[in-house]
Chain A
């Protein structure tokens, strides 16, 4: 069983994204589109994934991320691998 709850995983994802792209943490929530909210392109999004992988110690295959653009789904995919 993962030691975190789903809400905790999401919260950590948002913390890391806010820090990496220097946006106020309070502006981010699970339903946000991270491309729009962080103003990043797909290359920058890959950098974010790499950072999240290192933090959580999981692997997130690129192909599994096709079509994923909101923090909530991203956090779900991470949580499922914890």
Chain B
């Protein structure tokens, strides 16, 4: 069956500006955007109202001389002004630079100095944090629009920069129509999770986004009445696509919450009849843990009955999550998600197969995917027919995936070719040439194709080759240690932590055990039991995959916005405290 192409409905526009412009006209009466703060609703716009609020900002940009190809950065948490500002930038033919609002003021100053935008839209508290960072006075930007500035506050401003209140940036002279851009023109510069040193600004074209959009809406068609809860930061590739461009194109609504406290997130599901949601693995795991606890608290008879219903659901749905059926069988779980959920997406880091299976058994369709900012968001997605939780699914329509130089097990570097692959890194032809070779994007991830589904093993640069010539992937080994008595842990090659110290090709498990520094220190007996558990798990692994030592760590692991462990940063921290493995590492067998 061929599904209707939502871009055809809008006359196949060549750029995001025209796409969004036509979508707001086509879907005029549908709800576009809801912004809630706790129990109160700040904003509810139909597409028509959204358009009426965005066009005066478009007019203001014209008045300021903002022209096609000019850059505009957005540093905002998820809220209505994110979408309004981005609409205006695309409408006037600009290049959007969405920055991660979770970075520090100094990091924002550094990235703005790298991309030199004409316009910056930023929340008051983030702007204030930037104002005390080094380099603020020389910030190479034209004008700054500050949102949510308190009425009596004086706005900090570098000497040469015009700083305005966002609310004041409106013109009554509205533009006639969107500025036309070609498919090959750059639409966004998105900084990928580069955690230090060299900024990696991925230049994504209008064509990249329109191709990705076509592939995603073919797999997951959205319609008016669908409600997407936008929790991941919109600067992140996933939310930009499934929490902004996708729903707008299809006439579906996006729900923003100004407060992400668990109690308000929970209340939002039934209140706004949420149908779609995207998460990072860590949040999914927390949700699973919460449900586990609730099930464990049921009296034994009820729990047995529930497990039996899970079994019935599994048989009746033949392994494919069927929310309609499961909603009837397992209503108490589905009620916790509001009872309208149709699909959840998870990506951005490794998701444990057990977590995915747990949701699938409950009839909650969680589609695991894999993607890179460099590849225009998603590369693969599990179609769930039936689910393949040990993989990240099959390539999206229009994407070719190849495994380069596979070893005896078929594992090699994942290479990707499609219309969605970025044009290159901003001002970094060298890195671009290393990353995109003959039109193929080299991902740096190691994987294998299992009958059309991609299974990932880790990052190429984290891989170690043992003395016996075996390839070992630390991330792959971590799976065997899921469930150990630790708050968080990860596996490193010892030579990655202490290069050139003759540590050999040994694997080390770094674990943070205590929840709080003030909590009682684990007793010697407790630590011994912990180490015994590691050794027991070691014995179940092939000898070359076993960890040879354990390092007990006391601080939180540094993580990226999508909650991936920043391995190089953690390695630096470990090295700073322990210049050598001596005395730091407990040897295990």
Contact = CB atoms under 8 A, between A and B. Distances in A.
Interface of A: 21-24, 27, 35-41, 43, 46-47, 49-50, 59, 61-64, 66-67
Interface string B250-277: 0000000011111100000000000000
B262 A21 contact: no
Nearest to B260: A62
A64 B6 CA distance: 38
Contacts of A47: 261
Nearest to B519: A22
B348 interface: no
Contacts of B129: 66-67
Contact of B517 (A39, A62, A67): A39
A66 B37 contact: no
A67 B518 contact: no
The main secondary structure of chain B at its interface with chain A is: loop
Interface in B121-175: 123, 125-126, 129, 148
B382 interface: no
Given A35-B556, A46-B262, A66 B77 contact: yes
Contact-size category for B: 20 to 34
B311 to A, nearest CB: 32
Interface of B: 37-38, 77, 79, 101-102, 104-105, 123, 125-126, 129, 148, 258-263, 286, 514-519, 554-556
A63 B105 CA distance: 14
Nearest to B123: A63
B125 A66 contact: yes
Contacts of A35: 556
Given A61-B259, A66-B125, A39 B37 contact: no
7 contacts: A23-B517, A23-B518, A39-B519, A41-B556, A46-B261, A50-B261, A62-B258
Contacts of A22: 516, 518-519
A27 B129 CA distance: 27
Contacts of A46: 260-262
B125 A21 contact: no
B282 to A, nearest CB: 9
Nearest to B488: A41
Contacts of B79: 63
B261 A39 contact: no
Nearest to A36: B555
A67 B105 CA distance: 8
Contacts of A38: 516-518
Contact of B102 (A36, A37, A39, A66): A66
A37 B37 CA distance: 30
B77 A67 contact: no
B442 to A, nearest CB: 33
A77 to B, nearest CB: 9
B125 A67 contact: yes
A23 B517 CA distance: 8
Contacts of A63: 77, 79, 123, 125, 148, 258
A61 B261 CA distance: 10
Contacts of A43: 262, 286
A39 to B, nearest CB: 4
Contacts of B514: 39
A5 B372 CA distance: 50
A47 B262 CA distance: 9
A46 B286 CA distance: 15
Contact of A62 (B126, B259, B556): B259
Which of A37, A47, A66 is the most central at the interface, judged by chain B CB atoms within 10 Å of its CB? Answer: A66
Contacts of A41: 556
Contacts of A36: 517, 555-556
A63 B518 CA distance: 29
